[in-house]
Amino acid sequence: MWARSRARWRRWARRWRNRLGRFLPSQSERELFSPRIRYLDRHAVIYAHDSASRERAAQLLARHLTSLQRRCLRKRGFFSVTGRSGRRYRVWARRQLPVELIDGRHTRAHHKPWLYCITTDGLADGEATLPLADQMLELKLCLEADEEYFLITSNPNFIEGVNEKNELLRKSFLASRRV
Amino acid sequence: MSVMSVLGKSGDTEIRWDPDSGEGLQTAKRTFDEKTARHGYLAFVEGPNGDGVTMIRSFDPKAKSIILAPRLVGG
């Protein structure tokens, strides 16, 4: 009896969801991001994008993610990316401190999360910032293609990251002087 | 047909060209040069099987898929 009424309730909900489908967020965005992330992205004060832009960005991101990454993004709010050096990063669905370095040496790390603050420069084109999905895609591509560029550009919130960044900057400075 | 996706405020804009016949090639090359040289956009190109992403500095007419994205800055 209980199962039958539950099935009836689900059918009713599905029917109304289909009827109201055009008023709900588009399919790709809904499949990729959890309701909480979608809510925060929709109601952001300075990063507001219309639903068509968000949907296009979500479609492009979905095409570049594996099914595991898509599921992880939907359930946990991030997906993992492996850089050229073999280090693993988490790209979080948020604007501030969006990239986390996973500590490969310790499975139970006794330190605060190692985060990098980085964003897209929308001011160069006189435009606002990219939709969230596009920004995540760019971070993924950058980590996979040129990890060193990412490490030099971003600002880490932990001392090891700062030291590494300074070392990379010193090396590139010396290399430029040698040329 | 090859495709170049330019990321912007309203999602991505696609520019297509045919590497064999050269149709649309000039438009794609002009957009690439303008975006990378003037606005500092980053260009990513995927490997033949969709893996092994690389960053490129000059336009590759034989690439299957190019993504142009605004440059990154530290937050």
pLDDT in tens, A64-95: 999 999 999 999 999 999 988 889 999 999 88
B69 and A120 in contact (C-beta within 8 Å)?
A: yes
Residue A9 identity (one-letter amino acid) = W
Q: List CB contacts (< 8 A) between A60 and chain B.
A: 5, 11-12
Model pLDDT, residue B42: 92
Q: Which residues constitute the domain of residue B57?
A: 2-69
Residue B15 lies in a domain: yes
Question: With 70 as the cut, is the pLDDT of residue A25 above it?
Answer: no
In Å, how far are A67, A142, A146, A157 from B52, measured between CA atoms?
18, 12, 11, 29
In Å, how far are A79, A114, B38 from A109, measured between CA atoms?
19, 10, 43
pLDDT in tens, A82-133: 988 889 999 999 888 999 998 777 666 677 888 999 988 765 555 567 889 9
CB contact under 8 A, A142 and B10: no
**How many domains, in total, are found in chain B?**
1
Q: Which residues constitute the domain of residue A169?
A: 2-178
Residue B9 lies in a domain: yes
pLDDT in tens, A165-179: 999 999 988 888 876
Residue corresponding to tokens 């964003």: A119
- Nearest CB among A119, A128, A141 relative to B67 is that of A141
Q: List CB contacts (< 8 A) between A97 and chain B.
A: 75
Residue B75 lies in a domain: no
How many other C-beta atoms lie within 10 A of the C-beta of residue B45?
21
How far apart are alpha carbons A174 and A171 in whole angstroms? 5
Q: How far is B21 from chain A (nearest CA, A)?
A: 27
Model pLDDT, residue B49: 67
A25 and A35 in contact (C-beta within 8 Å)?
A: no
- Nearest CB among B39, B67, B74 relative to A124 is that of B39
A89 strand-pairing partners: A81, A101
Q: Which of B28, B24, B55, B53 is nearest to B40 (CA)?
A: B55
Mean pLDDT of chain A: 85
Confidence of residue A1 (pLDDT cuts 50, 70, 90): confident
Q: List CB contacts (< 8 A) between A131 and chain B.
A: 9, 11
Indicate if ipTM > 0.95: no
pLDDT in tens, A34-43: 888 888 877 7
Q: How far is B28 from chain A (nearest CA, A)?
A: 18
Answer with the residue of higher pLDDT: A64 or A21: A64
Model pLDDT, residue A30: 81
Q: List CB contacts (< 8 A) between B8 and chain A.
A: 125, 127, 130
Q: How far is A37 from chain B (nearest CA, A)?
A: 18
Model pLDDT, residue A145: 92
**How many domains, in total, are found in chain A?**
1
Q: Which helix (H) or strand (E) holds B55?
A: strand B54-56
CB contact under 8 A, A56 and B42: no
pLDDT in tens, B10-29: 888 999 999 888 888 999 99
Model pLDDT, residue A23: 67
